[in-house]
Amino acid sequence: MNDTTLQEMSFLKHLQHAVESYFFVVQLSRSAIFSEIFSYTACRQVLQLFLAIIFFHVSEYFLAIFFHGRSNVTLRSLLLSKTYILAMTFALLEYCLEVYFFPGLKEHWWISNIGLAILVMGEVIRKMAIITAGQAFTHLIKIYHEEHHKLVTSGVYSFVRHPGYCGFFIWSIGTQIMMCNPISTVTFAVVVWSFFAKRIPYEEYFLRQFFGSEYDEYAPRVPSGVPFVK
């Protein structure tokens, strides 16, 4: 063999080693990505989120049927709006990006467990509100007074005027703390608070129309249940 042939063979061997090393790194990287995304931590947190979402919406729907009758309830009682779906999609996207780039962020189990406890507390408060109010609880704001619509001031309503909103506010933030999603935690808190800050005054305008002095006496002594909303 001449020198040229030997150099070509040497070059080909180096090229082969380089290609093999490249594919090894790619395979290792893919394996690392797979293990991070489908790790025990990720699977548990995502599963908890989906179970929380399913239970929340399905229970809302069946409680509405229980108190108002099947004929008076539509799929709107599942409370699945486009904005809500977009928000949860954003939260899942944040989770996937962070579990890949900052996997250690999701390993703070004490934070995740606190979020789970907050989530459960919010769920309990909201369901207590629905069960206590019975037929008086509706997913849509009533602008006309109906005979069965009574002012409920007992039970959880003796502590906050809008326990349903209070419960959902706590629940929504709890879902993101449980997922260790810092961006979505702040975003959910701001967006949900802004929604209720507008909705509560609007709803209470009609409540004052329906119940007059009875509501005027009740409202000042019981907080709304949403921070900084009178």
DSSP state of 148: T
Pairwise CA distance, residues 52 & 56, whole Å: 6
Listed ranges 35-39, 162-166, 209-213; the one with the highest mean pLDDT: 162-166
CA distance 194 to 176: 17
Question: pTM here?
Answer: 0.83
pLDDT at 229: 94
pLDDT at 145 (0 to 100): 82
Chain mean pLDDT for the chain: 86
Q: Which of 10-19, 129-138, 157-166 has the lowest mean pLDDT?
A: 10-19
| Per-residue pLDDT at 191 | 96
Model confidence at 147: pLDDT above 70: yes
Which pLDDT belongs to residue 29? 45
What does the pLDDT read at residue 42?
84
Q: How far apart are CA 46 and CA 41, in angstroms?
A: 9
Residue 19 predicted with pLDDT over 80: no
Token pair 């329906």 is found at: 210
User: What is the 8-class DSSP label of residue 106?
Assistant: G
Mean local confidence (pLDDT), 183-192: 97
* Euclidean distance between CA atoms 103 and 100, whole angstroms: 6
Residue that has been written with the tokens 């990287």 in this structure = 29
pLDDT, residue 75, reads 85
Per-residue pLDDT reduced to its tens digit, 104-142: 899 999 999 999 999 999 999 999 999 999 999 999 888
